[in-house]
Structure 1
Amino acid sequence: MSDKKRKGAGKIRTEFRKHYGSRPKAADPTREFLAADPADENDGPASERVRAKGDSSRKRTVIGRPSGAPESGAPIVLDVDETQCLPGRVLRVHGLTSIVESERGPVFRCATRRLLKTIATDQRHVVAAGDLVRFRPESGDTGVIERIEPRRGVLCRESRGRQHVLVANVDQVVIVASAAEPALKPHLIDRFLVTAEHDGLRPLICVNKVDLVDPADLQPLVGVYSQLGYPTLLVSATRGWGLDRLRRRLLDKASAIAGQSGVGKSSLLNAIDPQLNLRVQAVSDENQKGKHTTTAAQLVPLTGGGYVVDTPGIRQFQLWDVSPAELAACFPELRPYVSHCRYPDCTHQHEDYCAVKDAVADGRIDLRRYESFCHLFSGE
């Protein structure tokens, strides 16, 4: 549909009403528009909630068919001329520019269609590494992303009240921690595990720098995760320990590499595949905290098959769209006991006759893992 036809026929100016309900989950900025049934368009809301500062209200143009308009068949939102677009995958995002590899091989520097940014009001960035897109080539190696295909395998977190998609369309998330320098943080591992459980990603725990400690000291932690069904590898990028097992886990899969700053994510990838030649940096001697070497998530293919997305190191990982009621289901050791609590709305914190608390007291649930659950439940 031409821009000329769209003017005056499909734009409605609406006032926004304040709404304090729960945030809708919006992992796919174009899914609801691409999958919409035209026959049901008049039944949908005529407005969308937009965050505003203070008490100020905002108006917004909602593109759609006015009430009472005749049925036109095809949706008029996000119309894309397939003949003018190419399929591609986002390799990385730098500011307003996305580096997209087309299925034919060439790489393009793409801007993003403005309407996509308007739709994704709850997202920090519209496009993420790993996204499958349709883009329109322009002059030289430039283009415009016209559509983002529905996502699967999304790793995301909360950032300043908005969804921050770290990577999309992956099979598994490799949670990299370090035995020392910086110190091991099991509670951060648990946060990644909750996100993986909630979003249907296969987790793999990888503890790097085991050459700096006595590996026997790590066995209690490894034992807890192994009993829960989480595969856990002890590796050393500098000594080469455990790299063959990690390499086999990555072969022919799409993997997100995530973890705290300074744990050696890029060093591990370089050790597995030296052709990657990713930048690395030492840990600060003053505070033993990692430095941000990888500043943007980037998708890189592996020589033996498959690809990895090296994500920037983080120091905090806030859960996105995981409600307190859903949290217990993201801890596999809590699931068998939840239904045996006396109260159906039991929070497993302070109530009497709580089967979860009884299991903790009896040693059937690891105390440290239960404490992680309590911290997350209280929003810490």
Structure 2
Amino acid sequence: MASKKKKVRVEMRRNLSKPPRENDVTRQFQDNGAHDVANTERVRAKGDASRHRTIMAEDAAAMPGTEGGWVRGRVVRVHGLYSYVELDDGRTVRCTVRRVLKSLQVDERSIVTTGDWVWVAAGGDALRGAEPEGVIERIDPRHGVLTRSSRRREHVLVANVDQLVIVMSLVQPELKVHLIDRYIASAEKGGLKPVLVLNKIDLADPVALQPLVGAYSQIGIPTILASAQTGVGVARLRAMLKDRATVFSGQSGVGKSSLLNAAEPGLSLRVSEVSDVNQKGKHTTTTAELIRLSFGGWVVDTPGVRQLQLWDTRPEEVEGYFSELRPFIALCRFPDCTHTHESDCRVKDAVRRKLVSGRRYYSYLGLFNGVEE
């Protein structure tokens, strides 16, 4: 039985909203103004309705089944125009995306991302493994996402994961503490449990790190001091990964792939050295890939990032991503207090009394003011 369809109003892509243009540019030099108006073509109509169009989409109530030719699977990686989907039977199918899905989402950089649960229409040969190709017809609702802003569009790095492992190196490249706080805010926004891993502990003084570790432990964030070279902290990391879906993220060169190789022997992910000139790593991981762990669970190794800008976040929302500020927010004199310049601000008072980390407060100010990190 054919699936039901319904009419859906979707936004026009921004580059299609053009101002009126003239059919004949030379007429602007003529004196007959009325004639000019008659020969003007309006590309954009009046009102909000002009920024939408109607398309036919599958009815969400008509859930497909295998008898209809659709099978469920999970996106393990996205490469160019193709998404690679692992079906329930273990086969991997190379898929394109139905065009109507792209029309429904105009703000996302890519409609499909690693970790998505999708429904695939594949031919008989594809299901038998003779020609592993198909078309993604539906994307299930997401939970647990890691996103960032990229060229004024939403870039979903991974979806449907439980926790975010923030990997930072103590040296080579140098530690960026404010980037950690941005990751924590992104985890809070996306519904992920943040875990902090400080790699290359063999190259630093562990005693000097105690204030930093204590500050994050105080707000309930597990912190692991690790070394992919010596194996320190790897056992604890494995325990955190077991039976969970996890995304690894951090700067290039911090050792994400090296830690995964240490936690899962035989994985053989590519690694590279950090430049001695600029202390920056190279992108050895070029695409996010979902990997099944032998001891239980899944992990996504993502390409390195150099900055993390939160997507679609208003300044007044930022305070909600700093859990240690919440007990003091309701005590502020003004209900719309921004905790930046107001008098009788209980958040600033808590910072002065060292009940809230001053460094974390400065991270809050950076996010509130939209400062890129």
The interval holding the TM-score normalised by the smaller chain is: 0.7 to 0.9
Matched, 1:314 2:305: yes
Matched, 1:133 2:118: yes
- Of residues 318-327 and 88-97 in structure 1, the stretch that sits farther from structure 2 once superposed is 318-327
Deviation of residue 199 (structure 1)?
2.0
Contact 1:261-1:312 within 8 A present in 2 as well: yes
Q: Deviations over 1:152-197 (max 9, x none)?
A: 1111111111110101110111010001100011111100100111
> TM-score normalised to the size of structure 2?
0.85
Matched, 1:51 2:36: no
Letter in 1 for 2:359: R
TM-aligned CA distance change 1:338 to 1:127, over 3 Å: same
Q: Deviations over 1:171-226 (max 9, x none)?
A: 11101000110001111110010011122211110000011111111111111000
Structure-2 separation of matches of 1:281 and 1:304 = 26
Contact 1:228-1:332 within 8 A present in 2 as well: yes
Q: Deviations over 1:49-74 (max 9, x none)?
A: 54237854476641269xxxxxxxx9
Deviation of residue 136 (structure 1)?
1.1
Deviation of residue 81 (structure 1)?
6.8
Contact 1:176-1:207 within 8 A present in 2 as well: yes
Structure-2 separation of matches of 1:168 and 1:289 = 27
Contact 1:266-1:279 within 8 A present in 2 as well: yes
Contact 2:12-2:51 within 8 A present in 1 as well: no
Aligned to 1:166: 157
Q: How does 1:148-297 map to 2 (within 5 A)?
A: 148-297=139-288
SS in 1 for 2:254: coil
Structure-2 separation of matches of 1:119 and 1:184 = 40
Contact 2:10-2:103 within 8 A present in 1 as well: no
Unaligned runs of 5+ in 2: 20-43, 45-49, 126-130
Matched, 1:104 2:89: yes
Matched, 1:87 2:79: no
Aligned to 2:39: none
Letter in 1 for 2:84: I
Structure-2 separation of matches of 1:141 and 1:364 = 57
Q: Deviations over 1:111-152 (max 9, x none)?
A: 111111111101000111111000011351111111111111
User: Structure 1 segments of 4 or more deviating over 2 A?
Assistant: 46-61, 74-82
Aligned to 2:346: 355
Structure-2 separation of matches of 1:244 and 1:51 = 49
TM-aligned CA distance change 1:156 to 1:78, over 3 Å: farther
TM-aligned CA distance change 1:47 to 1:277, over 3 Å: closer
Structure-1 separation of matches of 2:352 and 2:16 = 46
Contact 1:101-1:108 within 8 A present in 2 as well: yes
TM-aligned CA distance change 1:60 to 1:54, over 3 Å: closer
Contact 2:73-2:119 within 8 A present in 1 as well: yes
Structure-2 separation of matches of 1:303 and 1:76 = 36
Contact 2:164-2:193 within 8 A present in 1 as well: yes
> TM-score normalised to the size of structure 1?
0.83
SS in 2 for 1:173: strand
Aligned length: 335
Structure showing greater Rg: 2
Matched, 1:113 2:76: no
Q: Deviations over 1:222-279 (max 9, x none)?
A: 1100000000000000010010000010011100011111100000000111221111
Structure-2 separation of matches of 1:59 and 1:210 = 54
Letter in 2 for 1:309: V
Deviation of residue 105 (structure 1)?
1.0
Structure-1 separation of matches of 2:162 and 2:279 = 32
Q: Identity over aligned residues, as a percent?
A: 53
Aligned to 1:63: 55
- Of residues 171-180 and 322-331 in structure 1, the stretch that sits farther from structure 2 once superposed is 322-331
Unaligned runs of 5+ in 1: 12-32, 34-45, 66-73
75, 79, 90: which one pairs with 2:59? 75
Contact 1:80-1:147 within 8 A present in 2 as well: no
Contact 2:65-2:71 within 8 A present in 1 as well: no
Aligned to 1:30: none
Structure-2 separation of matches of 1:245 and 1:362 = 34
Provide the aligned C-alpha RMSD in A.
Answer: 2.3
Q: Deviations over 1:315-366 (max 9, x none)?
A: 0110012221221111011111111111111110011111111111111111
Structure-1 separation of matches of 2:63 and 2:161 = 27
TM-aligned CA distance change 1:166 to 1:244, over 3 Å: same
Letter in 2 for 1:62: T
